[in-house]
Amino acid sequence: MGEKVAIWTQLAGLPLKQYYLDVDGIRTRVMEAGEGEQTLIFVHGTGGHLEAYSRNFAGLADEFRVIAYDMVGHGFSDKPDRPYTIDYLSDHLVGLVKALHLQKVSLSGESLGGWVAAWTAAYHPELIDKLILNTPGNITNKPQVMEQVKNSTIKAVEEATYDNVRARLEWLFYDKSFVTDELVSIRYKIYKQPEFKRAVYHIVAVQDWEIRKNYVWSPEWCNRITCPTLLLWTDNDPTGTVDEAFILKEWIPGSLLYVINDSGHWPQWESMEEFNRVHTAFVKEGGF
């Protein structure tokens, strides 16, 4: 199954653009395909990059203008010397939407990207049409998960070997065979950038309580989310159980819950067809 997955195989033949955009002075890497009236922006997780969604473009580009990007401090985007807090990452996302001259978009964020997408929907509701929170992870601030994310991410960068990068990726997956040599090589190349050794500490800053406490998931700001919202969970997410989804369901008015089985933290890879189908139904019709 996983060993047959190849990023370029998914993208071959698809009219596709990869480019850099100036977002408030941040050189930002973007990939997009499709010319649909509705725009769907994907937001990756901690230490991630836009290739996290490379399996989804072909299945969604017929319906939407699909965009993925490297968050500030991540991938091949610029890496300013400052902590990458939730509000800072959100401001970058808002800047991206405006730099693309978009009036309203749908957001799908995974892990840290879900946190950023939700924060953006709460504080910039005028920009968001639909919101999908894909395994947003550790909304109850479990110390052991925070430590695992922090230590494994730093190790993958400070001791950047293929084995360490593979171990960091495999932690995210239920079916480890989806962690291909190609995916490991891409992330290894990203982590070997000289500036990444400094940036990684800014990336994991939100795993430190003194910073995290200012942005923790709470009803105070989640109640501000007014757009249709889908909580997209899995049954084998190492960062958070399905029980935690019901907490967010209480906090985000009118939100819906959908659980994908036999997947870990990256259902967009492990359950591509189901992930794409649910996204299409929710963004177009508000259901699944």
pLDDT at residue 38 above 80?
Answer: yes
**Residues 24, 22: Cα–Cα separation, whole Å:** 6
User: If residue 9 lies in a helix (H) or strand (E), which one and from where to where?
Assistant: helix 7-11
Q: Which two tokens stand for residue 175?
A: 């079916």
75: phi then psi, degrees, rounded to nearest 5: 55, -130
Report the CATH number at residue 141.
Answer: 3.40.50.1820
What is the pLDDT at residue 4?
67
pLDDT at residue 261 above 80?
Answer: yes
Q: Which residues contact 176 (CB under 8 A, 6 or more apart)?
A: 2, 170
Task: Encode pLDDT of 106-153 as tens digits.
Answer: 999 999 999 999 999 999 999 999 999 999 988 999 999 999 999 999
Q: Which two tokens stand for residue 12?
A: 């071959």
Q: Which domain holds residue 190?
A: 2-285
Structurally, the chain folds into a number of domains equal to 1
Instruction: Record the pTM.
Output: 0.96
Residue 266 · residue 110 · CB < 8 Å? yes
User: What is the three-state SS of 109-138?
Assistant: EECHHHHHHHHHHHHCHHHEEEEEEECCCC
Residue 66 · residue 102 · CB < 8 Å? no
The three-class DSSP label of residue 45 is coil
**Residues 98, 89: Cα–Cα separation, whole Å:** 14
Task: Encode pLDDT of 193-247 as tens digits.
Answer: 999 999 999 999 999 999 999 999 999 999 999 999 999 999 999 998 999 999 9
